[in-house]
């Protein structure tokens, strides 16, 4: 009677040089990200320190930007950055949600791929192309048709009429927000589409089985299941809108004043830095003020990210 030999698999040693090398490489990569981020923050803060010392807290509230008199204030670009980004989110999120909703729930299968590819291609268009297209196409449309219509119909209404007054130049806060909305639309829409597809089909089938409509399934099943990722996609778009430079520079008007009208010109932190950085001598107070603006833009982005994380934690606990 022959005995069958039992072959025991060789156990891998608990310590492998390859594992150690890989662990060290990924550890270095993680630390390197923190080092680069810290270096950017420190360099911006140190570069902007002379401006903070010269103007103090008034740098945040002063609306003057006069290189001749060496007076610099950040209030106008901060206001322009925030208002254009918020308006862009208000315009882009409904369109992105509608696009993702149509692609995942309503569109026929043969139509989903080309539309999805077209949305993703929008994200690959350089920002300067958006700026040129906005200046030569959107600005004339806004100046000849959109702005005159709102000025004539809403300009005389108390309270909200102030938002729709002024000469219809075509450029301004609303035009730049529209361009930004188009730019961030593919990021938000693609994120929403991808996370909507992760919902287990059995959840939606159960909802349809008890008589829910398509919208009720989206509202009660899909959105609660994917809310964390949806908010993350919106924050991704908001971050892109806060830091956009060339597209906004083409269409915002580049005037250092705060206007109550959405049609009025303005500035953002990114646009004023792009325009005036090449003309700022090394070691000058103007260059320091621009670096201080860059540091403030980073602080604003960090605050927005912190708020989004807080909202996500609140929603998850609820």
Query: Would you state the pLDDT for residue 140?
Result: 93
Question: Are 160 and 154 within 8 A, CB to CB?
Answer: yes
pLDDT digit string (tens) for 81-118?
999 999 999 999 999 999 999 988 888 888 888 888 88
Give the DSSP letter string of 67-110.
TTTTEE--HHHHHHHHHHHHHHHHHHHHHHHHHHHIIIIIS-HH
Give the DSSP letter string of the chain.
-PPPPPPPPPPPPS--HHHHHHHHHHHHHHHHHHHHHHHHHHHHHHHHHHHHHHHTTHHHH---EETTTTEE--HHHHHHHHHHHHHHHHHHHHHHHHHHHIIIIIS-HHHHHHHHHHHHHHHHS-HHHHHHHIIIIIHHHIIIIIHHHHHHHHTTSTTGGGGG-S---S-SHHHHHHHHHHHHHHHHHHHHHHHHTTS-HHHHHHHHHTT--HHHHIIIIIHHHHHHHHHHHHHHHHHHHHH--HHHHHHSB---S--SSTTS-B--HHHHHHHHGGG--TT-HHHHHHHHHHHHHHHHHHHHHHHHHHHHHHHHH-
Question: Residue 1: pLDDT above 50?
Answer: no
Largest pairwise CA distance in the chain: 106
**Taking each helix axis from N to C terminus, what angle separates 285-317 and 223-243, rounded to the nearest 10 degrees?**
180
> Which two structure tokens, joined as six digits, stand for 32?
């390197």
The mean predicted confidence, pLDDT, of the chain is: 86
Spatial distance between the Cα atoms of 132 and 263, rounded to a whole number of angstroms: 19
pLDDT digit string (tens) for 143-165?
999 999 998 888 888 888 888 88
Spatial distance between the Cα atoms of 113 and 116, rounded to a whole number of angstroms: 5
Question: Residue 316: pLDDT above 90?
Answer: no
pLDDT tier for residue 279 given thresholds of 50, 70 and 90: confident
Question: Residue 9: pLDDT above 70?
Answer: no
N residues, the chain: 318
Domains of the chain: 37-317 (1.10.3720.10)
> Which two structure tokens, joined as six digits, stand for 144?
């000849």
Q: pTM for the complete prediction?
A: 0.86
Query: Would you state the pLDDT for residue 165?
Result: 86
Mean pLDDT throughout 261-285?
Answer: 87
């Amino acid at each position: 009677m022959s005995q069958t030999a039992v072959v025991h698999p060789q156990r891998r040693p608990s310590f492998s040089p390859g594992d150690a090398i890989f662990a060290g490489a990924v550890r270095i990569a993680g630390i390197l990200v923190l080092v680069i981020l810290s270096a950017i923050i420190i360099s911006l803060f140190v570069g902007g320190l002379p401006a903070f010392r010269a103007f103090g807290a008034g740098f945040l509230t002063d609306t003057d930007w006069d290189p001749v008199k060496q007076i610099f204030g950040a209030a106008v670009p901060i206001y322009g950055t925030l208002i254009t980004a918020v308006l862009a989110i208000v315009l882009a999120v409904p369109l992105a949600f509608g696009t993702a909703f149509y692609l995942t729930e309503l569109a026929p299968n043969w139509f989903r791929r080309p539309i999805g590819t077209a949305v993703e291609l929008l994200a690959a268009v350089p920002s300067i192309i958006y700026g040129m297209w906005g200046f030569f196409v959107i600005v004339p449309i806004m100046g000849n048709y959109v702005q005159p219509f709102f000025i004539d119909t809403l300009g005389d209404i108390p309270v909200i009429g102030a938002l729709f007054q002024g000469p219809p130049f075509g450029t301004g806060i609303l035009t730049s927000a529209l361009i930004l909305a188009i730019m961030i639309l593919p990021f938000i829409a693609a994120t929403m589409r991808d996370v909507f597809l992760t919902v287990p089909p059995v959840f939606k089938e159960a909802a349809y089985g008890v008589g829910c409509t398509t919208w009720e399934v989206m509202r009660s099943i899909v959105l609660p299941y994917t809310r964390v990722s949806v908010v993350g996609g919106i924050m991704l778009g908001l971050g892109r809108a806060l830091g956009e430079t060339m597209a906004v520079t083409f269409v915002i008007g580049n005037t250092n004043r705060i206007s109550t009208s959405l049609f009025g010109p303005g500035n953002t932190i990114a646009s004023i830095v792009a325009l005036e950085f090449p003309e700022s001598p090394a070691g000058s107070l103007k260059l320091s003020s621009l670096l201080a603006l860059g540091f403030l833009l980073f602080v604003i982005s960090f605050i927005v990210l912190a708020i989004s994380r807080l909202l996500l934690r609140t929603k998850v606990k609820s």
